[in-house]
Structure 1
Amino acid sequence: MSVLLPNMADFDTIYEIEDEEDEHVVSEEHLPRYCPEPVVMRGAGHITVFGLSNRFDTEFPSVLTGKVAPEEFKTSISRVNACLKKNLPVNVKWLLCGCLCCCCTVGCSLWPVICLNKRTRRSIQKLLEWENNRLYHKLGLHWKLSKRKCESSNMMEYVILIEFLPKYPIFRPD
């Protein structure tokens, strides 16, 4: 019985595969990644103007246990609620004035409340973007304001979605 030993000079040589059909390289986008369903924070207030509730519940969801501290979560929701508390009463006043004058202005009196509501949504989105950059992206989470269909009716509402960012396999070679 004879054993063929490799030449020691060729031991460290790296050979490139010429035949592309035999090469089985999987790109990163084809790798399956496990991401849990996003956490949906629905409005918990008693006033809703064009789908935007006047506050969100500060109760810590159990799904986020181990991902984020309850104090950080409560601080973030409190910042969103403070923004809503500052902006929504003005929107409601303009909505009432717009509804009273709606017949005379052929609906144009509702434009100010639509613009104010859009400005409120943008300020919340900027606040959530700031929170993401400050903390949540480092923790593998992404907060965003999203429009969803209500569970009880066909109306739309704005909710805060807390998405889990996919984990990339860092031990996989390039």
Structure 2
Amino acid sequence: MQSADELQVRKRIYLQRDFSNGMAVRFQTRFPSELDGRVNPEEFSQTISVLNEKYRQAEEISFSTYCEGCLACLTGYLLLLCINTHYKKVLKEISKYIEDQNNTIYWPKRILIKDPFESGLRSIEIVIFDEN
């Protein structure tokens, strides 16, 4: 089986952030026409919806996230060197989810979804490779 480094890129698609509901991290859910016939629209929509929900959870304010912030401030932010914050934990979940989706759904079709954190959460990059 070939790795992504050995294949030639056919096209790159970018799903931009959706700012219609404010500054929260949320990506457009429209199905790109370039994926038509290659990916099931329902599977793609489900992937993006789960990502949007996980980013919503990451930015959710709760008593524990409030305490994390207060304790970090009281310790001169040294606490953040010792613990994983709620936000970091959810970002790890998101990376794992994207990896699982790529392995099970997208990579067999020579499509790769990149983690949006790598691009500063500006967009989701979808790479389509040649099927040689």
Q: Please, what TM-score do these two structures have when normalized by structure 2?
A: 0.68
Residues 95, 110 of structure 1: CA spacing in aligned structure 2 closer, same or farther, 3 A cutoff?
Answer: farther
Identity %: 26
Gaps of 5+ in 2: 1-6
CA distance in 1 between partners of 2:96 and 2:47 (Å): 13
Residues 84, 62 of structure 1: CA spacing in aligned structure 2 closer, same or farther, 3 A cutoff?
Answer: same
Paired position in structure 2 for 1:107: 77
Query: 1:56 is paired with a residue of what secondary structure?
Result: coil
Structure 1 residue 68 and structure 2 residue 39: aligned? yes
Amino acid of the structure 1 residue aligned with 2:13: V
Query: 1:81 is paired with a residue of what secondary structure?
Result: helix
CA distance in 2 between partners of 1:89 and 1:111 (Å): 22
- 1:123: Cα distance to partner? 0.8
Where do residues 1-174 of structure 1 align in structure 2 (5 Å cutoff)?
A: 35-44=9-18, 46-48=22-24, 53=25, 55-90=26-61, 94=65, 98=69, 102=73, 104-108=74-78, 115-146=85-116, 147-148=118-119, 156-157=120-121, 159-168=123-132
Deviations 1:26-75 (A, max 9, x none): xxxxxxx6523321223325345xxxx2x222111222222212222111
Residues 34, 107 of structure 1: CA spacing in aligned structure 2 closer, same or farther, 3 A cutoff?
Answer: closer
Contact 1:38/1:161, CA 8 A, preserved across alignment: yes
Contact 2:68/2:85, CA 8 A, preserved across alignment: no
Q: Which has the higher helix share?
A: 2
Q: Specify which structure has the bigger relative contact order, considering alpha-carbon pairs within 8 angstroms and separated by 6 or more residues.
A: 2
Q: What's the C-alpha RMSD, in Å, of the aligned pairs?
A: 3.4
Aligned length: 123
Gaps of 5+ in 1: 1-32, 149-155, 169-174
Greater Rg over alpha carbons, structure: 1
Contact 1:94/1:112, CA 8 A, preserved across alignment: no
Amino acid of the structure 2 residue aligned with 1:118: K
Query: 1:44 is paired with a residue of what secondary structure?
Result: coil
Q: Please, what TM-score do these two structures have when normalized by structure 1?
A: 0.54
